[in-house]
Amino acid sequence: MKKLRKLSRFRPVLGFIIVILFLLFVFSPQVRSILTLPESQRLVVGEKSRISIKVPQNLSDKIDMLVSHSSQSVFAQPGDPPIVVRKNRDSYEILALKPGKAEIKLKVLGYIPVKTIEVESIPPKRVILGGHSIGVLLQSNGIMVVGFAPITSSDGKRVSPAKEQGIEIGDLIMAVDGNEVKTENDLARIIDEKKDRTFNIRIKRGKKIMSIPVKARFCPETQRYRIGLFVRDGVVGVGTLSFIDPESQKYAALGHIIIDADTKEGINVLKGRIVGASVQTIKAGKPGKPGEKIGTFDGEDEISGNITKNTMFGIYGQMDKLLENPLVDYPVEVGYAHQVKTGSAEMYTVVNDNAIEKFSIEVEKVYPERKNGKGMIIKVTDPRLLSLTGGIIQGMSGSPIVQDGKIIGVVTHVFLNDPARGYAVFMDNMLSELAEEEEINEKVSTNY
């Protein structure tokens, strides 16, 4: 009984010692080198990745890194897994053999699992490099309310019938009394026909569809019936083509969503086109005042295509015919986020007429985990471009960025307080939207 009492006195001390030893084990450099290994990894076919595990030699001999649960893509041949692992003296080398996915398990003594890494092997891809100046003509799916325009009646009162009934800025007017409206002129004509009768306006607000009754008022100033709204049915502007998929002739441009200048909302696409554009004048950027390209549309002779999507990562559509970049007359390989590094790179864009030029830039920071279109911070270093534009300006969005011969992303936004710097989006993000569209088209074409 006395021995049991003595042991019970030491239990708290023993527990404390065990906790300390456990913490020392977990936070030791050797264990941390294993626990901090990535949860997942992406490799292009033919690419190698090296993983170093810093443990004593006697423990290293008891650690194995094995490939398990492999799945091959439809492009791969049966047989070997899509990746293999080779053990070197103090590290492991992962080699991507063909497209597919696999799990790499790190085991001690051959059966105790301590870490699992999911590895995806993706096929190499090549695209036609952009840099071309384009004109963008985009018609929205619905007429967007961008402001209120009160009506001054004959007795001097200012009224806004649509606002009073609950219509808000940013609403999309889809139809009036069941009649679809696609342009500002459609809406004006229907309102004139209804005169002072109450009619129902079907609007889209976010994801909600609602019907709002409105009665127009006669406007002595314009001599027509109005409901007191400013509306817009589309936008036009100048931007830059990013790249073209040579197999499908699908293109990507701009690198960011087109928003309405008044409502700050993304525009739902009804239809639209891109055409060639020539840069006539450059308005240089200054801190606090973004610059811009001022250009004219050339028509549809050389550059022409439709617009099918307006997304977070730019506009997408189908080219009527393939283009070439005169500076790089062959498809360039895509560089993915995990391959991008800080250092020198080149940007392709137009600053005069329609001639594509190459300018030096610096990739200052890389955030591979970001999926918001701001994966890189870039800085313009080319003296000539800085003297012409001050750095990144409006109309430059979508300009492709090349590093080590691979297209790694496109320009998206400028820093307002420092025009020489801005954000760029990874090709991973751009291609994800392109793949999504091709998948939708494939489903449509096979659905009969």
Give burial (CB, 10 Å; 0-12/13-18/19+) of 284.
Answer: middle
Residue 118 has pLDDT above 80, yes or no: yes
Q: What is the tens place of the pLDDT at every residue in 92-108? A: 788 888 888 888 887 77
pLDDT score of 77: 43
Residue 446 has pLDDT above 50, yes or no: no
Mean of all residue pLDDT scores within the chain: 82
Give the Cα separation of 339 and 345 in Å (integer): 13
| Residues composing the chain | 448
- Whether the predicted model's global pTM rises above the 0.85 cut: no
Instruction: Tell me which range, 13-17, 72-76, 190-194, is most confidently predicted by mean pLDDT.
Output: 190-194
The answer to which of 97-111, 132-146, 244-258, 363-377 has the lowest mean pLDDT is: 97-111
325 vs 53, higher pLDDT: 325
Give the Cα separation of 53 and 62 in Å (integer): 12
Residue 187 has pLDDT above 70, yes or no: yes
Q: What is the tens place of the pLDDT at every residue in 26-37? A: 445 555 666 667
pLDDT score of 104: 81
Give the Cα separation of 414 and 255 in Å (integer): 12
pLDDT score of 194: 87
The pLDDT-based confidence of 58 (bands split at 50, 70, 90) is: low
pLDDT score of 179: 87
Which positions are annotated as active-site residues?
256, 382, 397
pLDDT score of 395: 93
Is the Cα torsion angle 278, 282, 283, 284 positive or negative in sign?
positive
pLDDT score of 348: 98
Contact predicate 329/112, CB 8 Å: no
* Closest alpha carbon to 380 in 409, 348, 335: 348
